[in-house]
Amino acid sequence: MAKRAVALFLAMVTSLSLVACGSGSSTETTGETTTNGGVAETQTEETEGSAEEQVSVAPGKKGAIEFWTVFTGADGTSMQAMVDAYNATNPDYTVNHRAIEANDLYLKMPLAIQTGEDVPDVAINHIERVPLFQEMGLLDDYSTVIGDSNVKAENYNPKAWAMSDIAGGHYGIPLDVHSFCLYVNMDLYEKYGNGVMDDGVLTWDEVKSVGEACKADGITPLGITWQRVYFLSSYAQLGGTLSTDGNVPDFNNDKAKKVFDTWTDLNESGYIQKDGDDPWQMFLGGNIMFCPEGIWMYNNIKDTGLNAKMFDFPVFDAGTKGNWTSSHQFVLPKNPNRDEEKTQAVLDFIDFIGNNSLEWAKAGQVPAHVAIKDVAEFQDMPQAFFADENDELKIYDYKYYGYAVEALDKITGEVLFGRMTAEDGLNQAVQETEGRIEMGE
């Protein structure tokens, strides 16, 4: 293991904020206390995030599987229910689920692996983390242990599976794919939409075509919530990448400028919320007609009773869809103390979760296991159409993704509201990314 790289990474990660699945209006990892019921027999007293606690083995069991996740919000309750269901099958190894805030997990997991103490047997990482962790030697290769188990590529969303094929190995098993989508207030759309969604796709020009009618009645046509993800969705539609060669960041280019030019045009026309407003709350309050957000936010809409539907993210060209997408992946932290029998038990657990992830879909996610795709209850869920998409799912695989998006977070709002030019903002973001890469090498 590259200990120097790990040490530098640990120093740097403390300054990083959440790199995936968080938004300006909400996050999947909210820091709420997670209910960890049903496994008390396998452990001592437990509180959220207490990764160093000792675990005892229940009578009649061969051992416990330590399972770390980033699910500290309502999604943690859903994951715990799935873990409880697995433990109820009376496996030889009881699974102990520890929900840890994402940044804490990304700090604690490398530290545990480096010290060899309290290393989890399996953990959830966002897909964007996997390439760098693999390069740092923190993860075990699934391709050497899968063998004849039921964990097979053909059982999973191919896009989510392929992203963790790295350097001839395989380093992640996808739990889900979760995308940014477009929510439409259908009551407002009926009054102001003028049929622009008849083809099921919203272009930026169509937003502008209905903008004045909305403004005349005090309705905001479009809400821009999590600006980083808006950028990444649109940029990917244009074929943009964060790095051409996979190492040097070079997203200060004409495609990125086109994304920001579109934003500033909408802002200067008065078609988005004002600086400082909370667009998601405005949407839930019935004051915004179009509002892209995460598919996992649909339960907010259900709670308010808003008449809203889910579509693909807005586009430049109706023929080219693109939705920023991430994926929660089961990874095997490098741990010489996890023997072959226990590793196979981990694979059995992952296979069980995949085949029983309808509960995960109820949390607003799209399970990656194909067993759920055709279940009638899932097919009735608004996010189900994402399970049939492939090219439309834009997953970034840049190993320094965390550095790049952290830098983007600092400039997107400045550009959107005219306090910085697109060129200056992009140059600043690229330079900051380069600086962090240099610190880590």
pLDDT in tens, 418-429: 999 999 999 999
Query: Taking 90 as the threshold, does the pLDDT of residue 247 lie above it?
Result: yes
Q: Which residues contact 372 (CB under 8 A, 6 or more apart)?
A: 357, 358, 361, 378, 387
**Once rounded to an integer, what is the mean pLDDT over residues 357-370?**
93
Tokens of 359: 């509960």
**Which range, of 59-68, 83-92, 377-386, averages the lowest pLDDT?**
59-68
**Once rounded to an integer, what is the mean pLDDT over residues 127-136?**
93
Q: What is the per-residue pLDDT for 10?
A: 56
Query: Taking 50 as the threshold, does the pLDDT of residue 434 lie above it?
Result: yes
Residue with tokens 């996610």: 365
**Once rounded to an integer, what is the mean pLDDT over residues 349-370?**
94
Most confident of 28-32, 131-135, 156-160, 298-302: 131-135
Are 250 and 244 a contacting pair, CB within 8 Å? yes
Q: What is the per-residue pLDDT for 61?
A: 83
Strand order in the sheet with 63-69: 93-99, 63-69, 122-126, 328-331, 173-174
**Which range, of 41-45, 137-141, 382-386, averages the lowest pLDDT?**
41-45
Query: Taking 50 as the threshold, does the pLDDT of residue 199 lie above it?
Result: yes
| This model's pTM is above 0.95 | no
Query: Taking 90 as the threshold, does the pLDDT of residue 287 lie above it?
Result: yes
Q: What is the per-residue pLDDT for 2?
A: 52
Query: Taking 50 as the threshold, does the pLDDT of residue 39 lie above it?
Result: no
pLDDT level of residue 49 (50, 70, 90 thresholds): very low
Residue type, 155: N
Q: What is the per-residue pLDDT for 25?
A: 41
Q: What is the per-residue pLDDT for 398?
A: 93
pLDDT level of residue 58 (50, 70, 90 thresholds): confident
